[in-house]
């Protein structure tokens, strides 16, 4: 069994910063890509940032220059450093990871989500 557990969400004023963490645990052989998605109120889920095992990154235009994704492959953890937060960043943030549990078991897993609220 595999679990992704997020932490670090909360309430912050516009212009502030938050760091989200997502730790994967369980029967894990390796983790390929990891990423963060968000779902603003009343909107569809959207990609925020993703990172490969080798460290290549991809960002949504809204995140470029303000957010940084990085990972610790020893701790099986992915982080999202969010700076210069705006009210429109308010959303439920969820992490995802493609996890190999065996030679024949490769699947995508999701965390439960953490609320980020940015006040104006």
Span 47-92, pLDDT tens digits:
999 999 999 999 999 999 999 999 999 999 999 999 999 999 999 9
Give residue 42's pLDDT.
Answer: 95
- Between CA 71 and CA 23 the distance in angstroms is 10
With residues binned 3-state (H G I as helix, E B as strand, rest as coil), the percentages for the chain, rounded to 5, are 0, 60, 35
Instruction: Tell me the β-bridge partners of 100.
Output: 30, 106
> What ranges make up the beta strands (E) of the chain?
2-7, 10-13, 18-26, 30-39, 46-51, 57-59, 67-72, 77-82, 91-102, 105-110, 114-119
Give residue 51's pLDDT.
Answer: 98
Give residue 111's pLDDT.
Answer: 97
């Amino acid at each position: 069994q595999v679990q992704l557990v997020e932490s670090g969400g909360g309430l912050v004023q516009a212009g502030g910063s938050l760091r989200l963490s997502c730790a994967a645990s369980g029967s894990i052989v390796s983790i390929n890509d990891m990423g963060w998605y968000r779902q603003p109120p009343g909107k569809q889920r959207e990609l925020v940032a993703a990172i490969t095992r080798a460290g290549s990154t991809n960002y949504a235009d809204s995140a470029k220059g303000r957010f940084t994704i990085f990972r610790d492959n020893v701790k099986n953890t992915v982080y999202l450093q969010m700076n210069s937060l705006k009210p429109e960043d308010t959303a439920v943030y969820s992490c995802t990871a493609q996890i190999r549990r065996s030679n024949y078991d490769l699947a995508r897993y999701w965390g439960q989500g953490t609320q980020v609220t940015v006040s104006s």
